Each structure stands twice: as structure tokens, then as C-alpha cells.
Amino acid sequence: MQEISAVIEGIAECGNGLLKISETLRRYFNVNAEDEPKKKSPAKKKAEPPKEEIPPVEEQAPTPKEPEYTKEYVRKLLADIANNGQREKVKEIINKHGANSLSAVDPGEYAAIVAEAEVLLNA
């Protein structure tokens, strides 16, 4: 009988661990945990130790951030456009950002170049 009790205790501990993990993941991925009613855990025995509290994770509002593009990505995108017969347009984009070649372009300009290139690609 003690073995069965030990197994049941182990299962209860695993269940509690899974609940903690799911709550942490829910907060991490910012799922609307406040809107959903919390599920109650199965009935517990009085002999069970008190449940540990998970410290709240500070959530920061996501800041809109421009994606960071690599030179290789920008080069491939511009090469695809140039190979589609728009070589002069690619040169204009690079010149517009103060350079004669992509290697001379400031990496901070890559996002703007990609935006302009995607317009050409979708045209």
C-alpha cells in the first residue's frame, strides 16, 4: 500500500510541475491568461506540502524594432532583382543611400534598402 501511495504522490508532483511549466510558458508567450479561468488542480490530500509560488515574470511591452538584415541577405535580394532586368533600379537604390556599392553602404541603411527592394520585387 505504501508503494501505491508513493506512486500517487509522484504523479501529483509531476502534475504540479507541469502546471508550473504551463503557467510560465503562458506568461512568457503573453497568452491572455487573465481572460481564461484558471484550471483547478485535482483534489489534493491534506498531507501534501504547500505549493511553491512562482515569482512573477516582469513583462515588458514589446518595442517595435526594425529587423536587422545581414549584408548577405541584402546582397541576395538585390541580385535577384538585378537578374530580373532591374539592374539600374538596384544601382539607384544603392546610390540613394550614399554609396556606389553595397559594401560601402552603412549597415543601418539595410532595412530601408530591403523595404525599397521589396517594392521592386512585388511590382
- The DSSP 8-state label assigned to residue 83 in this structure reads I
Please report, for the chain, the start and end positions of each structural domain, with discontinuous segments joined by +. Answer: 1-61, 71-122
Checking if the pLDDT of 120 tops 80, the result is: yes
pLDDT of the residue at 76:
93
d(Cα 119, Cα 27) in Å, to the nearest integer? 37
pLDDT at 87 over 90: yes
15-65 pLDDT per residue, tens: 778 877 877 777 777 544 455 555 555 555 555 666 667 766 666 666 666
Is the full-model pTM beyond 0.85?
A: no
User: For residue 75, how many C-alpha atoms fall within 13 Å in the half-sphere facing its CB?
Assistant: 9
Nearest to 112 by CA among 64, 74, 62, 63: 74
Q: What angle do CA 102, 91, 98 make, to 5 degrees?
A: 60
* Contacts with 33 (C-beta within 8 Å, 6 or more apart), sequence order: 23, 26, 27
